[in-house]
Amino acid sequence: MRIMSAMCAVAAIAAAIVLTPDASAQRRGQATTVVVVNYQRVLAESALGRDMAAKLAQVRQQVQAEAQSLAPEGQSIEQERQRLATATRSMTAEQVRNSTTYAPQFEALQGRVEQFQRRGAALQGDYECSQALALRDFNQTVSPIVRSTMESRGAGVVLDASNIQFVQPEFDVTTTVIQQLDQANRTMNVTRRPVSECQAQQAQTPGQ
């Protein structure tokens, strides 16, 4: 999962920012003003976004190094698969299943394959979970600034630039959001998070 594509899911949440019912009531009878934020620009150009990307890159490098350490086991598994395939090439599948020599060896190999695949999936899951939680924290930091900018413009709705085709420059508040974000937050805590943490959160979320 690339950072920019992952941000789309986070931006979908941030783009839903609207005025509270009380504020909306105060504007009743007035036309709704819309402002636009390019969330990909905020992510790519803000100091906070760049800091997050750099730290996620470190996590990715760590995960990739561990994945590479699995290569010898992967090669060993392939060698064992080829050995068994050669040794049983004259046997039917039923003969192999009934063989006291080869059936246990195939079972042991299958166990190694499953463990190898689980480990690889866990490494990928760790990175994706780390990225998802970092993006969540980034969004939580950006959202109040977007809301403040929206209200200062007298707007009632924020749209994500990725969801619209044309926008007049005066309605695009992206640069303002980036400037205010840089003044408030330039670094964030990004660490490797196990996939089990995201799985646990999903299990606790209604409807998941």
pLDDT mean across residues, the chain: 86
Count the neighbouring beta carbons within 10 Å of the beta carbon of residue 113.
Answer: 15
Task: Fill in the DSSP letter of residue 185.
Answer: -
Mean pLDDT over residues 173-189, rounded? 95
Residue 90 has pLDDT above 50, yes or no: yes
CA distance 86 to 82: 6
166 three-state secondary structure: coil
Residue 66 has pLDDT above 70, yes or no: yes
Mean pLDDT over residues 168-173, rounded? 91
Mean pLDDT over residues 97-109, rounded? 97
Residue 158 has pLDDT above 80, yes or no: yes
CB of 130 within 8 A of CB of 192? yes
Extract the runs of DSSP E, i.e. beta strands, from 120-176.
157-160
Task: Fill in the DSSP letter of residue 36.
Answer: E
Mean pLDDT over residues 6-14, rounded? 46
Mean pLDDT over residues 32-37, rounded? 86
Kindly report which listed range (9-13, 29-33, 148-152, 162-166) carries the lowest average pLDDT score: 9-13
Mean pLDDT over residues 129-147, rounded? 96
